[in-house]
Amino acid sequence: MSTKFMYERLLKCQEANKLVAIYASREDEYFEAGYIEAVTASDVMFRSRRSDGYEEGHVVLPLELVYRIEIDTAHLKTAELLAKHLNQQISSGLFEKAPNKKHSLFEIAADYVYQSKEIIFIDIIGDETPVIGMIAENEYEGLEITLVDDEGRLDGTCWIKKEDILALRFGGSVEQDLMNKLKK
């Protein structure tokens, strides 16, 4: 399946700094909203914005999963209005210069989280519960994750094939809360 159409539209949304609704799951009417930070031929990274106006970290999705995007809807305008009222500015991105179209945002994000030792949520194909933890090893074909439970305690080790990963989520309030609990 060609991703060129969505790539070009997401790039325009990034250039216009528009809040975008991104649909990647056809099973329900669920979407994620955010400001596009980077888009490549293989994936998209955005700074997530919740419907209550708060920013919620970074998300990386494979471009092939994105089947619908929206801008300027009433729901998105409300989120922007709430963000403005709460003084929730659009945070600066991870990149000083946008990555090349040929780069993998997934690999860039995985390396960033690995180096910074942040907690990450990883959505996996066919699994409703995300893997939560810190990347202990970032190898060519997979990730080794030091698991963290809901209370912020270390909870074993997990290995995941990269080809089975749907999304990476990091830098949000839930991840920050778990990091704070872990440090205690």
**Total count of domains within the chain:** 2
Instruction: Please indicate, yes or no, if residue 92 is contained in any of the structural domains.
Output: no
β strands within the chain, DSSP E: 19-23, 32-39, 43-49, 55-62, 68-71, 119-124, 127-138, 142-148, 154-161, 165-170
Say if pTM beats, i.e. exceeds, 0.75: yes
Give the mean model confidence (pLDDT) for residues 74-79: 94
Residue 184 has pLDDT above 90, yes or no: no
> According to the model, what pLDDT value does residue 30 have?
84
3-state secondary structure of 42: coil
pLDDT class of 1 with cuts at 50, 70, 90:
low
165: tokens are 């990963």
How does pLDDT run across 5-58, given as a tens digit for each residue?
999 999 999 999 999 999 987 776 789 999 999 999 899 999 999 999 888 999
Tell whether 66 and 115 lie within a shared domain.
no
Residue 181 vs residues 116, 151, 153, 168, 177: alpha-carbon distances, Å? 17, 7, 8, 21, 6
Instruction: Please indicate, yes or no, if residue 129 is contained in any of the structural domains.
Output: yes
Write the CATH number for 174. Answer: 2.30.30.100
pLDDT class of 114 with cuts at 50, 70, 90:
very high
> What does the mean pLDDT of the chain come to?
90
3-state secondary structure of 146: strand
For residue 38, the enclosing domain spans 3-86
Burial class (CB in 10 A: 0-12, 13-18, 19+), 85: exposed
